[in-house]
Chain A
Amino acid sequence: MGISNRERFLAICRFERPGDLCLLTPYINDFWPETLELWVKQGAPEEILDSRFRRAYFQFDHIRILREIKLGIYSDRKLDICGAAYVYEIPPIVPPYQPRLISEDEHTITLINEGGQKVRVFKDSPQKMPMFLDHPVKDRASWEEYKKRLDPDTPERWPSDWDAYVQKMNSRDEPTMLNVGSFFGFLREWMGLESLLYMFYDDPNLIEEMMDQICYLETESIKRVVKDVRVDSAMFWEDMAFKTGPLISPDMFRKFMMPRYRQVTDMLRSSGVDVIFVDSDGNLNELIPLWIECGINSFWPLECAAANDAVALRKKFGRNIILGGNIDKRALLKGKNAIRQEIMSKVPLLLESGGYFPSVDHFVPPDVTWENYRYFINNLREVAGLSKLPE
C-alpha cells in the first residue's frame, strides 16, 4: 500500500524523503486568476480554470486548508465588478462588512469591501492588488467598535455542523493546515501601513491591545480546533518586509510580536502541530532568526527579487527550517534557458537536503506563458526523476 499524501507531507517536513518532489497546492503553487484566463487563450485546456482539474493535470499534492474556521485570511464571497470577480481575503472579522459601491470612473471602481476598507480596483482586473484609500481602525474608539468582530465565540466563525466537519476533515488522507492569523499583517489591513507605523510610536499601548486581542482570538480558537480536528500544520500570514528588509525593527518585533507568537506556537506544539509556516513577502533575512526564536519553522515564498536565498538558508539553519518557494518568477518570464538555469542552480540541492516544497516565489503572474509554465513543471519533474506531464 502506497504512502498517503498526509504521511508524505509530514515525512518531507521531517527530512525523511530526500529527492521527493512534492508540489503542494493551494497557496504554495498557486496562480493569479488572470494568469489562468490567459493560458486558456494560449492553448491550455479550458478546465485549467478549475482547481481540481489543475491539481490532477500538474500532479500537485493537495493540502487541505481549514478555511471554514475563520481565523486567518480567507476568501469569502466574490463581488461582481463589471463581470469580473473581486475577492477580499478577510482578516478574521465576523461578521464581515456589507460591501458597497462608493463611486466609479472609466477604469476604476471605489468601494467599501468586506474588511471595511475603502479601496479602488480596476474594472477590467479587480483581482489585482487594490489601492487602499481608507481603513476601518483609526484610533481607540474605532478599534473598540472593530474589536467586536473578533470574538472567538461568534457562532458564524465556526462550521455550522461541527461534528460533521470534524469527521470530514479527520477522514481525509491529505495534510491539513490551519490559518492562525497574523500580528503585523492584520493590523496593517485594519489601519493601513503608514498609520500603523506611526502608531508604534504614537500609541504603543493600542498596538499591544490589538495584538492581545488577536492572541486571545487565535489561542482560544486553536484550543477548540485541536481538541477535535487533526491539524498537521499551521500558517501565519504577515507580509511584513519589503525589498531590503523588515518593515519594523528587530527590537520592535521582539517587544510587540515575539511574546504573542510564543503563546500561539506553544499551544500548537503542545498539541502536536510542529510544522508552523509563515508567509511573508519581502526580504526575510533579518526576520527568519526571530521567527525561529518564536517557534516558527517554515518559510514561504522567499522572494528572489528581495534577496532571499533558500540554498544559503539551508546551509545556515540546516534541518531547523522547512522551506517553500524561492524559484524566481522572473526566470519564467525570460524563457526556457533561464528557467532551466534557475531550477538547476538550487532545486537539486534543496530537494536532496529534504524539507523543501518547490514553487515559484509567489503566485504565478499573468506574464508567465502556458508554455513556459509547463516547461518549468517538466524540468522540476526531470530533476526528481519523474516523466514529463502528458501532452
Chain B
Amino acid sequence: MEKGDDKQTTNIVRKALASRVPPLDILERGLVPGIQALGKLFKDGQVYLPEILISCRAMDRGVEELKPYLAGTDIHNKGTVVLGTVEGDLHDIGKKLVRLMLECNGFRVEDLGVDVSADSFVSAAHKHSANIVGMSTLLTITMPYMSKVINALEQAGLRHEVKIMIGGAPITREFADDVAAEGFAEDCVSAVDEATRLMKL
C-alpha cells in the first residue's frame, strides 16, 4: 500500500481474509500502519503528494474489501472533524487532501465544502457532535472569517465542546494563536498529527 499499488493491496487483503486473519486486525495492524508510515515518509521528504494520493486510493480499495466483514464496526473511531473552506473562498484541493488523510487515519470527516458560512460550521458541529472544527483558507482577505466562525461557536455554546484546527497558505501558528485556535497544520500529513494531538487535550 505504501507504494500505492491498489491491485496488490486488494490481493493481500483478500489473501489475509482467506487465511482467517480478523478483518479488524487487517485494518488496524496492516492498512493503518501502512498509511502512517507513508505520513512519516512525507514529513521526511521521501514521498510527495502523488504518492500520498495513490496510497490513499490503495487503502480505500483495501477497506472496500473489508467492509462486508466490518459491518457494525466503527472504523472511523478516532474522532469527528467538521471541515470546510471559509466563506468568501472557493479553494478546495488543500482541504480535500486533509480530508483524505484524516479518513485514512481513522477520523470521521464531515466535509462541508467551500465558501462555508459560520452558521453552517455551527450547525454541522452541533449535528455531528464534532470533536474538531477544521477551517481552511488560501486568501489573506478571508483569514478574519476564521475568527467569526470561532465567535459563532462560542455564541452557540459549542466552543468548549470542540477544538479548532486551521490551515491554508497564509496561515501561521502565530495567527492560530491570535485567533485562539488550538490547532494549526501546514499540510495534510501534519493535519493528522495535529488532529490526533487535539483529541488528547
Question: Which residues does A use to contact B, with CB under 8 Å?
Answer: 107-108, 120-122, 128-132, 193-194, 197-198, 200-201, 242-249, 252, 281-282, 286, 303, 305-306, 329-330, 333, 365-367
Contacts and interface: CB of A to CB of B under 8 A. Distances in A.
A201 B54 contact: yes
Interface in B151-201: 168-172, 186-187
Contacts of B106: none
A242 B90 contact: no
Given A128-B90, A365-B140, A197 B50 contact: yes
Nearest to B3: A201
Contact of A305 (B115, B170, B187): B170
Contacts of A243: 168-169, 186-187
Nearest to B175: A330
Contacts of B34: none
A333 B172 CA distance: 15
A243 B57 CA distance: 23
Contacts of B69: none
Contacts of A120: 90
27 contacts: A107-B115, A108-B115, A122-B90, A129-B138, A132-B92, A194-B53, A197-B50, A198-B54, A198-B57, A201-B50, A242-B94, A242-B169, A243-B168, A243-B169, A243-B187, A244-B187, A246-B48, A247-B49, A248-B48, A248-B50, A249-B48, A282-B169, A303-B169, A333-B140, A365-B139, A367-B140, A367-B141
B129 to A, nearest CB: 29
Interface in B85-120: 88, 90-94, 96, 114-115
A198 B60 CA distance: 15
* B interface SS class: loop
B5 to A, nearest CB: 10
A193 B48 CA distance: 13
Contacts of A242: 49, 94, 169, 187
A203 to B, nearest CB: 13
A211 to B, nearest CB: 15
B170 A249 contact: no
A248 B114 contact: no
A234 B128 CA distance: 52
Contacts of A128: 90, 139
A305 B169 contact: yes
Nearest to B90: A131
